Amino acid sequence: MLQEFSSQKDTANGYAQLAADVLARAKACGATEADIVVADGETLSVQVRVGAVDRLTKAREKRLGLRVFIGKRSATTSTSDFTQDSLKRLVADTCTLARAVVEDDVSGLPDATQMATEQPSLDLYDETVVNTETQIDWAKRGEAAAFAADPRVTNSEGAEFDSSSGRVVLANSHGFVGSYKSSNFSLSVSPIATESGTGAMQRDAWYEVQRKFARLASAESIGQEAARRAIRRLGARKVATKRVPVVFDQETAGSLLANLCSAVSGYGLYKRASFLLDKMGQVIASDLMTLYDDGRMVGGLGSRPFDGEGLATRKNTIVERGVLKSYLLDTYSGKKLGLPSTGNASRSVGESPSVGPTNFYLVPGVKSPQEIIGSVKEGLYVTELIGFGINMVTGDYSRGACGYWIENGELAYPVEEITIAGNLKQMLKDIEVIGNDLVFRGRIASPTLKISEMMVAGN
Amino acid sequence: MFEPVQLAKFGVTELEAQHALDRLNVRDVDYADLYFESRTSESVSMEEGIVKRAAKSVSQGVGVRATAGEKTGFAYSDELTRKDLEIAADTARYIANSPKGDSPVPVPTQRRPTRDLYPIERAKAEVATADRVALLNEIDAEARRYDPRIKNVMASFNTEYKVVVVATSDGALVGDIQPLSRLQITCIAEDRDNRQVGSFGGGGRVGFEYYRADNRHLSYAREAAREAILNLSAVDAPAGVMPVVLAGGWPGILLHEAIGHGLEADFNRKKTSAFSSLVGKRVASDVCTIVDDGTLPFRRGSLNMDDEGTPTTCTTLIEKGILRRYITDKLNARLMGIPLTGNGRRENYQSVVLPRMTNTFMLAGESDPQDIIRSVKKGLYAVSFGGGQVDITNGKFVFSASEAYLIEDGRITTPVKGATLIGNGPEILTKVSMVGHDLKLDNGIGTCGKDGQSVPVGVGLPTLKIEEITVGGTQR
């Protein structure tokens, strides 16, 4: 068995006390308001490749982030060194930095009256400790299942089992103190398939992430799905350039939602850097689309009892039948837009808050993915997108894609080295069918989607 | 003069480091190292005409690693006591699971990096926040002065000051101080309902004075503003296969994505790269010679030594079209029996070492850039790019233009909107027909991601012509 690091044992109470001390010191240094985040975590990560352990990583770490306001000026700092000397220096540095920047009328903590008053348990933490041997076993079984699934699976980028758990404590000068623990367990398998004639290789992967170890699907089922995805890419070719309907699978549809999520984020909007500027209350998408961001989903991968500023999280309707109903806001971006926070402050230790989704998802429709593919005479089924060809200011969209060509409602053959292009403003309106297959594999989740037409560039 | 970095900076004695290495020295361990890192990052940023944000972060820790055959055991800690080192060492050696080795770990001989690629700047790394604020204010004013249609300017200035010491089981104890900074500017232009964005930036292992020299910061501001204004008149990009001329400098991201990642030794040892077993084979036309060079003074991708203490080198990857060499770290060089190139890099003490690029560029050719453009009847001229990505296994890569023009009858004409270019790595450079004599390195903004780790890199390119590549626009 591996030993634990001994010197960093602490509790929520210990961190709350530490936070109170630092806040008091900041006040003594001239801060008019301040907040502090303390986070710690443990991770164990095991990578197996071709049946043997490739890499084993274990760590325990902690970090503290401080934000101070001196009137309307503010600065943010962070450190991993929790000694008295280090924290004294941190507070002094932060106050010095804050005095050096310009006054920003809108800056400040949320009002004291807005702070979360209850912190419901959202079932985000599993105390199960998965030991090293078990993690190795899971990864080995996942990879072995991929190799066993088909003789054309000839190689592997490996299988990885990660477990992590940690605690977050947030406190501010209004007297708010919040704390929660969370955990994650994940298995991913990345097999490589080889085409017998040409020797051409294709890689794909499958994965699952859960807050609870017991909820993970079997290693074998994840490995088999990974193999199925790699195998079906063999023999991929380019297609001729043409406009066709495009069906996005769950994963790639999720990436479209992530683009939409950025576009409704308060920071992009007040900087006038979003293609959804000034669209509140207007139709921005197909009337089939209803989209929620729900921070209180029990056991959700994006759930948290309070946001990065200590406001209660909640369920927000972002789009209802195609009409934009809400942005995602924290206090600062909300004030810039004349709106209250939506409880979406996201906070990495050491940075001032930004906006992030909690569990951001599209309400499923009734059609199965097979029915959606079946509705296409000629078109593209996209299973992977690469590159960064998205302009958030204009909505212009052009990305590398691979997937399958659809002929007469059937997946005819795999395709690669093509791009799909359009403009997100139009693409959202051109969503013609929404699938019934919503599954949460991360904070953003979408069922299969069909867009009526996009430009596919190939030969 | 260069001072060798002392372990004392981390409150650790040489004896303690030696003791930890000794603990890692079980029979089946081939190699072990300790990587001590202290990093101070600072940033100031402005938007809406005011410098609103300032941030500073300090981190310190040690990464402890042992390799046995193909296995790597790794642990890290932000505490640096003897006890923490011991626990980390026990975790790292877990993968070897074997009794104590026979031969002792050699006593590290203190040595210094063989060169100093980023001197002077170190002393000037500390700059008053007020000076940074003033720099950003001047940028804002300059960009808005460029054109009244510039409606917002976002600028940030980031610096990092990193001190590392590497102690290895092969007897090295060596340190480096690695300054790094970057200035990044984004402008939003608006003309009625038409809103467009333009970006520009630069930096390197340079101090603050670099940005004020010749008013470099103001030229960055004008470039960002110019691109945003230009894009106001851009038309939709074409779709399909066509000749593309890439301008020099940052478009070298082509090499990074199409070739560079595929030549990292780990993928080739595992035979998961489209370039596996292509050494000695033709992968580019004979006008293409490509190097990875970590030894260029002050460049963003340069290092005196890599993160395993190996001096960086200039490695010829492709010589006149023939694939010559992969880039390596110690683990992969040992397992493959190929030379060590000094490309073992890690994002920080919390990450494992991987073979990574430094500054990757194509050497100058003989063509006149004007002749290259004149040779194209109908095609695309791409000047600036956003990010790129590659699928190592099937070799398909993309990179997305942010400033591009149509070429019609040998002349650069209408600006077009950004579009993604997609191609096949082992094939694309065989379609390079002309290489300009105007090699340019990028301005120092590149960050490369691999396995979740980000490291600073550089790229470079002379003007070049690709006979055909798929352009992912929307227009036939």
What string of H, E and C letters represents the secondary structure of B398-435? EEEEEEEEEEECCEEEEEECCCEEEEEHHHHHHHEEEE
Section A305-309 average pLDDT: 97
Give the domains, in start order, of chain A with CATH numbers: 12-226 (3.30.2290.10), 236-459 (no CATH)
What is the rounded CA–CA span in Å between residue B234 and residue B378? 17
**Count of H-run helices and E-run strands, chain B:** 10, 24
Query: What confidence score (pLDDT) does residue A393 get?
Result: 95
Query: What confidence score (pLDDT) does residue A119 get?
Result: 85
Q: Are strands A360-362 and A444-445 parallel, antiparallel or unpaired?
A: parallel
CB atoms within 10 A of CB B137: 16
Query: What confidence score (pLDDT) does residue B120 get?
Result: 62
**Residue count (chain B):** 476
Query: What confidence score (pLDDT) does residue A9 get?
Result: 44
What is the rounded CA–CA span in Å between residue A99 and residue B126? 17
Section B341-354 average pLDDT: 96
CB atoms within 10 A of CB B458: 28
* Residue A288 C-alpha, separation from nearest chain B C-alpha, in angstroms: 25
What is the rounded CA–CA span in Å between residue B158 and residue B181? 6
Residue B161 has which token pair?
Answer: 């000051």
Task: Give the single-character DSSP code of A390.
Answer: B
> Same domain, yes or no, for B61 and B103?
yes
Domain endpoint, select from B171, B199, B232: B232
> Lowest mean pLDDT: which of A118-132, A299-313, B70-84, B116-130?
B116-130
Q: Do A386 and B389 touch (CB under 8 A)?
A: yes
Residue A106 near residue A336 (C-beta atoms within 8 A): yes
Q: Predicted confidence band at B8 (pLDDT cuts at 50, 70, 90)? A: confident
> Same domain, yes or no, for B63 and B210?
no
Q: Do B95 and A100 touch (CB under 8 A)?
A: no
Return residues 290-349 of B near A (CB < 8 Å). Answer: none
Task: Give the single-character DSSP code of A218.
Answer: P
* Residue A80 C-alpha, separation from nearest chain B C-alpha, in angstroms: 6
> Nearest by CB to A458, which of B237, B398, B470?
B470
Say how far residue B83 (Cα) sits from the centre of its chain.
35
Chain B residue closest to A236 (CA)?
A: B394
B235 contacts: CB under 8 Å, gap ≥ 6: B414, B415, B416, B417, B475
Return residues 222-241 of A near B (CB < 8 Å). Answer: 233, 236, 238, 241
A308 contacts: CB under 8 Å, gap ≥ 6: A37, A170, A330, A345, A346, A347, A353, A356
- Chain A residues with CB-CB distance to B197 below 8 A: 273, 391, 393-394
Section B444-459 average pLDDT: 95
Does B1 have pLDDT greater than 70? Answer: no
For an interface test with B, give the residue of A241, A274, A385 to mutate (most B CBs within 10 A): A241
Residue B84 has which token pair?
Answer: 């923490």
Q: Do A388 and B386 touch (CB under 8 A)?
A: yes
* Residue A99 C-alpha, separation from nearest chain B C-alpha, in angstroms: 10
CB atoms within 10 A of CB B11: 11
User: CB distance from B430 to chain A under 8 Å?
Assistant: no
A14 contacts: CB under 8 Å, gap ≥ 6: none
Contacts 24+ apart (CB under 8 A), A78-84: A78/A349, A78/A350, A78/A351, A78/B56, A78/B57, A78/B58, A78/B59, A79/B57, A79/B58, A79/B59, A80/B58, A80/B59, A80/B60, A80/B61, A80/B78, A81/B58, A81/B60, A81/B78, A82/A18
- For residue range B162-211, what is the model confidence (pLDDT) as tens digits? 999 999 998 889 999 999 999 999 999 999 999 999 999 999 999 999 99
Q: Predicted confidence band at A5 (pLDDT cuts at 50, 70, 90)? A: very low
* Residue B354 C-alpha, separation from nearest chain A C-alpha, in angstroms: 12
Q: Predicted confidence band at B82 (pLDDT cuts at 50, 70, 90)? A: confident
Section A47-66 average pLDDT: 93
User: CB distance from A21 to chain B under 8 Å?
Assistant: no
> Same domain, yes or no, for B375 and B243?
yes
> Same domain, yes or no, for B389 and B334?
yes
Percentages (nearest 5) of helix, strand, coil residues in chain B:
25, 40, 35
Query: What confidence score (pLDDT) does residue B3 get?
Result: 54
> Nearest by CB to A389, which of B74, B197, B419?
B419
Does A282 have pLDDT greater than 60? Answer: yes
User: CB distance from B474 to chain A under 8 Å?
Assistant: yes
- Chain A residues with CB-CB distance to B397 below 8 A: 400
Residue B424 has which token pair?
Answer: 């096949």
Q: Do B94 and A5 touch (CB under 8 A)?
A: no
Section B450-461 average pLDDT: 96
Chain B residue closest to A416 (CA)?
A: B396
- Chain A residues with CB-CB distance to B399 below 8 A: 387
Return residues 371-400 of B near A (CB < 8 Å). Answer: 386-394, 396-400
Q: Do B74 and A389 touch (CB under 8 A)?
A: no
User: CB distance from B237 to chain A under 8 Å?
Assistant: yes
Look at the block and give the residue holding tokens 């017998």. A196
> Nearest by CB to A8, which of B60, B79, B400?
B79
* Residue A402 C-alpha, separation from nearest chain B C-alpha, in angstroms: 10
> Same domain, yes or no, for B332 and B454?
yes
pLDDT more than 70, % of chain A = 97
Section A372-380 average pLDDT: 98
Does residue B360 lie within any of the structural domains? yes
Does residue B222 lie within any of the structural domains? yes
Return residues 381-420 of A near B (CB < 8 Å). Answer: 386-389, 391, 393-394, 396, 398-400, 402, 416-420
- DSSP character string of A54-79: EEEEEEEEEEEEEEEEETTEEEEEEE
Q: Predicted confidence band at B110 (pLDDT cuts at 50, 70, 90)? A: low
Region of residue A408 (phi > 0: left; psi between -120 and 50: alpha; otherwise: beta): left
- For residue range B212-244, what is the model confidence (pLDDT) as tens digits? 999 999 999 999 999 999 999 999 999 999 999
For an interface test with A, give the residue of B56, B140, B476 to mutate (most A CBs within 10 A): B56
* Residue A114 C-alpha, separation from nearest chain B C-alpha, in angstroms: 24
Does residue B171 lie within any of the structural domains? no
Query: What confidence score (pLDDT) does residue B13 get?
Result: 87
A425 contacts: CB under 8 Å, gap ≥ 6: A275, A276, A284, A395
Chain A residue closest to B131 (CA)?
A: A100
pTM over 0.90: yes
> Nearest by CB to A393, which of B54, B129, B188?
B188
Q: Helix or strand or coil: residue B256?
A: helix
Does residue B288 lie within any of the structural domains? yes
What is the rounded CA–CA span in Å between residue A284 and residue A290? 11
Q: Do A155 and B54 touch (CB under 8 A)?
A: no
Chain A residue closest to B257 (CA)?
A: A387
Does residue B49 lie within any of the structural domains? no
Residue B419 near residue B401 (C-beta atoms within 8 A): yes
Instruction: Find the angle CA(B125)-CA(A81)-CA(A311) to the nearest 5 degrees.
Output: 100
> Same domain, yes or no, for B337 and B448?
yes
Q: Which residues pair with A319 in a beta bridge?
A: A291, A324
Query: What confidence score (pLDDT) does residue B81 get?
Result: 86
Return residues 70-99 of B near A (CB < 8 Å). Answer: 70-79, 81, 83-84, 87, 90-91, 94-95
Domain endpoint, select from B217, B232, B247: B232
Q: Predicted confidence band at B154 (pLDDT cuts at 50, 70, 90)? A: very high
Does A416 have pLDDT greater than 60? Answer: yes
Q: What is the dihedral of CA B361, B390, B392, B396, to 10 degrees?
A: -100
- DSSP character string of B68-119: ETTEEEEEEES--SHHHHHHHHHHHHTTT--PBPSSPPPPPEE---S--SS-
CB atoms within 10 A of CB B235: 12
> Lowest mean pLDDT: which of A122-126, A185-189, A234-238, B97-101?
B97-101
CA distances from A234 to A221, A344, B225 (A): 21, 42, 46
**What residues make up the domain containing B406?**
239-472
AA identity, residue B53: R
Q: Predicted confidence band at B152 (pLDDT cuts at 50, 70, 90)? A: very high
User: CB distance from A282 to chain B under 8 Å?
Assistant: no
What is the rounded CA–CA span in Å between residue B361 and residue B465? 15
User: CB distance from A196 to chain B under 8 Å?
Assistant: no
pLDDT more than 90, % of chain A = 92
> Same domain, yes or no, for B201 and B271?
no
Query: What confidence score (pLDDT) does residue A342 get?
Result: 98
Chain A residue closest to B471 (CA)?
A: A457
> Same domain, yes or no, for B352 and B220?
no
What is the rounded CA–CA span in Å between residue A155 and residue B297? 41
Give me the half-sphere count of Cα atoms (radius 13 Å) on the Cβ side of residue A178: 24
Does residue B48 lie within any of the structural domains? no
> Same domain, yes or no, for B243 and B228?
no
Query: What confidence score (pLDDT) does residue A4 get?
Result: 37
| ipTM, two decimals | 0.90
Does A431 have pLDDT greater than 80? Answer: yes
Query: What confidence score (pLDDT) does residue A132 get?
Result: 93
Instruction: Find the angle CA(B433)-CA(A242)-CA(B408) to the nearest 5 degrees.
Output: 40
For an interface test with B, give the residue of A1, A5, A194 to mutate (most B CBs within 10 A): A5
Q: Predicted confidence band at B6 (pLDDT cuts at 50, 70, 90)? A: confident
Query: What confidence score (pLDDT) does residue B5 get?
Result: 62
Percentages (nearest 5) of helix, strand, coil residues in chain A:
25, 40, 40
> Same domain, yes or no, for B143 and B269?
no
Q: Predicted confidence band at B88 (pLDDT cuts at 50, 70, 90)? A: confident
- Chain B residues with CB-CB distance to A57 below 8 A: 74-76, 352
What is the rounded CA–CA span in Å between residue B356 and residue A276? 38
Does residue B167 lie within any of the structural domains? no
What is the rounded CA–CA span in Å between residue B272 and residue B261? 12
Supply the CATH number for residue B156's domain: 3.30.2290.10
* Residue A40 C-alpha, separation from nearest chain B C-alpha, in angstroms: 11
User: CB distance from A350 to chain B under 8 Å?
Assistant: yes
Task: Give the single-character DSSP code of B248.
Answer: S
Alpha-helical segments (H) within A61-166: 84-100, 132-149
> Same domain, yes or no, for B156 and B299?
no
Say how far residue B219 (Cα) sits from the centre of its chain.
23
Of the candidates B421, B420, B419, B427, the one whose C-alpha atom is nearest the C-alpha of residue B395 is B427
> Same domain, yes or no, for B350 and B386?
yes
What is the domain count for chain B?
Answer: 3
Mean per-residue pLDDT over chain A, rounded? 94
> Lowest mean pLDDT: which of A244-248, B379-383, B384-388?
B384-388
Q: Do B420 and A400 touch (CB under 8 A)?
A: yes
Domain endpoint, select from B88, B110, B132: B110
What is the rounded CA–CA span in Å between residue A266 and residue B355? 39
Q: Helix or strand or coil: residue B5?
A: coil
Q: Counting one residue from A and one from B, how many pairs have CB atoms under 8 Å apart?
A: 271
- For residue range B406-434, what is the model confidence (pLDDT) as tens digits? 999 999 999 999 889 999 999 999 999 99
Mean per-residue pLDDT over chain B, rounded? 92
Q: Do B55 and A74 touch (CB under 8 A)?
A: no
Q: Predicted confidence band at B83 (pLDDT cuts at 50, 70, 90)? A: confident
Query: What confidence score (pLDDT) does residue A113 get?
Result: 95
A375 contacts: CB under 8 Å, gap ≥ 6: A367, A409, A433, A450
Residue A309 near residue A346 (C-beta atoms within 8 A): no
Does residue B404 lie within any of the structural domains? yes
